[in-house]
Amino acid sequence: YTGVTSDLITRIWQHRNHIYPTAFTSRYNCNKLIYYCFYPRIEEATAEEKKIKGGSRLAKIKLIESINPAWEDLYKEINV
Q: What is the largest CA-CA distance in the chain?
A: 33
What is the pTM (predicted TM-score) of this model? 0.85
How many angstroms from the chain centroid is the CA of residue 46?
A: 13
CA angle 71, 45, 30 (to 5 degrees): 35
User: Can you tell me the distance from the alpha carbon of 4 to that of 45, in angstroms, rounded to the nearest whole number?
Assistant: 7
As a whole number, mean pLDDT of residues 45-64 equals: 97
Return all residues near 72 (Cβ < 8 A) that are at least 6 apart.
34
As a whole number, mean pLDDT of residues 22-45 equals: 94
Summarised one tens digit per residue, pLDDT across range 60-80 is: 999 999 999 999 999 988 876
Summarised one tens digit per residue, pLDDT across range 4-29 is: 999 999 999 999 999 999 999 999 99
